[in-house]
Homo-oligomer: A and B are copies of this chain.
Amino acid sequence: MFKDWEKAEKGTRLPLETVLDALKYNADGLVPAIAQQHDTGEVLMMAWMNRASIEETLETGQVCYWSRSRQTYWRKGESSGHRQRLKSLKIDCDGDTLLLQVDQQGPACHTNRRDCFYFEADSNGVTVTADPVK
């Protein structure tokens, strides 16, 4: 289906059910979802969603992932308060990745850093680029 939609012009509207059916979920029924702060462009984290968590996120406007480690829905910020309010949910050209533009309340990372990408590699080594927040 995504192949058929490659030439679709800007403004073309597709039925949500059809598109969600056509997503290329992995063997566990999941697709990766990148979370980006909508106004600054910071990439905050990546997590996974199943079809029901996508639908819930679109309906409620609060981001809900699927936790692979806990094997349950993960309503981001439910216990920590570090919620992600959805600004837009985008799907890529071949339907196997999501981009969530969000408004992140507080830190996105479980280490209390703003984002999860605090190891920077170069050809000689890796540097920690942010302190954990106490």
Contacts and interface: CB of A to CB of B under 8 A. Distances in A.
Contacts of A117: 90-92, 97, 99
Given A6-B132, A34-B46, A93 B121 contact: no
Nearest to A111: B6
A121 B9 CA distance: 16
A52 interface: no
Interface string A40-57: 111101100000001000
B125 A113 contact: no
B14 A92 contact: no
A131 to B, nearest CB: 5
Interface centre among A9, A119, A131 (most CB of B within 10 A): A119
